[in-house]
Amino acid sequence: VRLIYGEVASIDRPSKTVSFRAWGEPSSIQEVSYDVLVLATGSDCVVPPIPGYRTGLSGIFAYRTIEDVDGILRSASGGARTAAVVGGGLLGLEAAKALSDLSLETCILQRGPFLMDKQLDEQAASMLHAKVSAMGIAVHHSVSILEILHDRGALVGLRVQERGSEPRILTLDVLVFACGIRPRDQLARQCGLEIGSSGGVKIDRQLRSADPSIYAIGEVASVEGQFCDGLWQPGVEHADVLAQYLVGARNARIGDSDLSTKLKLLPFDVASFGASRAFWSQRQFEKQDNDGLLRVVHTDAVKGTHCQLIFSSDGRRLLGGLLVGDASDYRRLHGLCLSGADVTEEGLLPKGECDAKRRRMGFRSGEHRQEETSET
């Protein structure tokens, strides 16, 4: 294996060459040829267009690389006292916890209506909000950032507006963006590869781009041109399938990636798991009229736990679930969900629950169930 450290300048598809500048030799363009080229360029943190923002302002960071983290640590040790995280998703919550651990007064600014709004329903997010607030981290949702305020090249604050409120000023020493990613597809665009609907290199289920000699994996890969996965596990699966394919397993294909997530750095559990992408894209965890799904919800306000399990209409398949406060059963539930196995003997629903419930609600065969909730 020949390892080259440098920056790729361009890809020439007709000649099957890659031009690059080796580190330490920025003025010298070199070339390397290929039979097969794999793009694994990952993604960049999204920084929304905000008045007052410019590259180089001190105190403003993405939450993406080791260099970003080193910069945050230097700010914290250099006298910073207040911090805000833009984004209330998985990465934003973990960033806020890290800033709080550095003894910075920390808040989360979430554009959406509640925390983790891509993975949780409002009830689960409300309990998560309470737990995050109890850690001393303020949470502001439905927030618009109107302006970044700076003085002599350094961040001093934000002008923000929460829905239904007047604009106000937040005084800040540190601002961290953790509000999404954008595929690093510049090289693919430069060489004329087909791009997915939301960016990234359009690939088929065998990781091939529009050019049969070029493949893409990880966060830059747009599966069938429809979506890029911003999680670590799908990238590992991509690499494994591509390796099999390139050594001769011509039937190797990627399936639907498992997008289940479990927060790791907070002092309490939060997990969202599903059998397929539809669990999140169709928001199956939220009750919808006539969707034919059976939901069982248990909330214990005293213990601070919330569990929602979503089943197929006959109660036989576990389609997904949300766990807040206690995810000790995550591994088992996640496994049952992915396996598609019949769960009627797993004790997740009392035996005969579906039929008994149907009788109580006055339903006849073929009609939909309603949500069942037990609260303590």
pLDDT at 351 over 60: no
pLDDT at 372 over 60: no
pLDDT of residue 24: 84
If one compares 82 and 361, the residue with the highest pLDDT of the two is 82
pLDDT of residue 350: 53
Give the pLDDT band (50/70/90) at residue 258: confident
Is-contact 311 135, C-beta < 8 A?
Answer: no
pLDDT of residue 374: 41
The Cα–Cα gap between 267 and 39 comes to 37
Q: Is 7 helix (H, G, I), strand (E, B) or coil?
A: strand
170, 203, 233 from 236: Cα distances, Å: 40, 16, 5
154-162 and 174-177 strand pairing: unpaired
pLDDT at 375 over 60: no
Give the pLDDT band (50/70/90) at residue 361: very low
Interval 74-83 mean pLDDT: 94
pLDDT of residue 356: 47
Residue-wise pLDDT tens digits, 284-329? 988 777 778 898 899 998 888 999 999 998 889 999 999 999 999 9
**Which tokens go with 173?**
């020493």
Is-contact 303 326, C-beta < 8 A?
Answer: yes
17-22 and 29-33 strand pairing: antiparallel
If one compares 113 and 371, the residue with the highest pLDDT of the two is 113
What average pLDDT is seen over the chain? Answer: 89
pLDDT at 171 over 80: yes
Interval 37-41 mean pLDDT: 97
Residue-wise pLDDT tens digits, 237-247? 999 999 999 99
